[in-house]
Amino acid sequence: MSKTYHVAVLVGSLRKASINRKLALALTQLAPPSLKLEIVEIGELPLYNEDIDVDPVPPAYSAFRAKLKNADALLFVTPEYNRSMPAPMKNAIDVGSRPYGQSAFGGKPGAVLSASPGAIGGFGANHHLRQSMVFLDVRMMQQPEAYLGGAGAFFDDAGVLGESIKPFLQKFIDAYAAWVAQHA
């Protein structure tokens, strides 16, 4: 019997109708049985402040860190804001990487998928996030790269994923499953 890997999925957009959240949910449906993807919410995390990261640690920090630590792997799905990752994603990275020397990220396999209605598909966010994760000792999947431009057209009015993007998402999640199996 093959192992099932628990994947913590962090979505960079907080919008209810977020394209990136829809993509994350689509990936949960396309994932092979070896992956169990779970979105770990980041919107309620207080802005990271070392002054409040003391006993007692904010419950939101503790719960978030525990979910990351219990995960076998990490998947980031994010839009791009001003050629970088959105503030909630950066805050989640800061919270999860602290206190110093106790990062919840280290040693786990990871991947990033960025999507935007714009033409370059979140290239800047993808690379900034990747740079932070490499520093935090996350083994980031290199291929296939996933910068999804024109993402506003991926879903119909009912929120159903279109057929044109499914083959790429399937290729991405299958490659990620192989990456996780190799590096978890």
Phi, psi of 81 (to 5 degrees): -120, 120
List beta partners, residue 4.
none
Query: What's the pLDDT at 1?
Result: 56
Residue range of the domain that includes 147: 5-183
CATH code of 104's domain: 3.40.50.360
Query: What's the pLDDT at 20?
Result: 96
Cα separation, 176 vs 112, whole angstroms? 10
- Tell me how many domains the chain contains: 1
Burial 149-184 (b: 16+ CB within 10 A, else e): bebeebbeeeeebeeebeeebeebbbbbbebbbebb
User: 72 with 50: CB under 8 angstroms?
Assistant: no
Q: Please tell me the pTM assigned to this model.
A: 0.96
Query: What's the pLDDT at 52?
Result: 96
Task: Outline where the chain has alpha helix (H).
Answer: 19-30, 59-70, 87-96, 123-135, 166-183
The residue assigned the tokens 């192989």 is: 178
Query: What's the pLDDT at 158?
Result: 87
pLDDT of the chain, 184 residues: tens digit per residue: 589 999 999 999 999 889 999 999 999 999 999 999 999 999 999 999 999 999 999 999 999 999 999 999 999 999 999 999 999 999 999 999 999 999 999 999 999 999 999 888 899 999 999 999 999 999 999 999 999 999 999 999 888 999 999 999 999 999 999 999 999 9
Query: What's the pLDDT at 2?
Result: 81
